[in-house]
Structure 1
């Protein structure tokens, strides 16, 4: 009798690999140029990489369990993989922002503020903003790097993970062919 790995067990293994890979990438970018962590391009690149790697691992898991995977199992695998990877990323980010470089949140908030002001100026709306609004926006960027801000971002990420897992699950599922007589 052949035993198959459950979606949860496979997701734990895959999530650990994906989370550690992403943490290494974040730390490499930090050591190369920390301000890139606040770049919109970095966030988009990470999302694309997550999607591609999750597809790769999802197809690999489907092959491991015999080539067929119902949508429910595909969704569970994807969602729990993202949760495990997200928790590892959360811990890695908290270590980076609170222990390794406590000054980094200020650098990233300043970079985000600069990026945002460039966008606002390109639309010609910079003059319409008061100093109070600008300071409030800057404080919001800084608060996002606090423990509470990171936990709140993780909570929001769970919604994104569910949507992404639905998409990935729909892509990697494969029904067993039924025999009709």
Structure 2
């Protein structure tokens, strides 16, 4: 009889796959137009791809388990998958921002500031209403997020977000065997 994988064992391959896809998307966006990395829609597309792939791999794992999976197993699978893919993405981003193109954080900080000003104008606020010190503060905070420490700190904060997403995915992926009800 074939031994079934634990959620951790089952999550390794999907985590590696999703992490590598995430790094590939980031690098493709960088090579096409690096300012895309600062756009909201790029993040949204990456998030949708992330969700779809985890659901796809989660359903495969559920099928491997016989078509049923508890919420706890689904949560563990999703959370571990996201941690592994997040670690791979973190390494890829550190390489991009610290080794390949150390000037890129400055470009993205400027683009993020520009995006913020455009959003303010859409809501009726004038960009002139901000002092140069406030704009420098926004730019510097954004720039800090791209430092090695900032990226590791953001990953730590991301773990909380991963847990919340894993709760949602656990609810989507779980399927109980109703034949066991009596």
Gaps of 5+ in 2: none
Residues 77 and 94 of structure 1, relative CA distance in 2, 3 Å threshold: same
Deviations 1:46-85 (A, max 9, x none): 1111011111111011011111111100000000000000
SS of equivalent to 1:57? helix
Q: How do 1:2-81 residues align onto structure 2 when only pairs under 5 Å count? A: 2-81=2-81
SS of equivalent to 2:179? coil
Gaps of 5+ in 1: none
Q: CA RMSD in A?
A: 1.2
Residues 17 and 180 of structure 1, relative CA distance in 2, 3 Å threshold: closer
Residues 145 and 176 of structure 1, relative CA distance in 2, 3 Å threshold: same
Distance 2:181 2:136 in 1: 68
Deviations 1:108-155 (A, max 9, x none): 111111111111122232233211111101111111100111112111
The Cα of 1:15 is off from its aligned counterpart by 0.3
Distance 1:180 1:80 in 2: 30
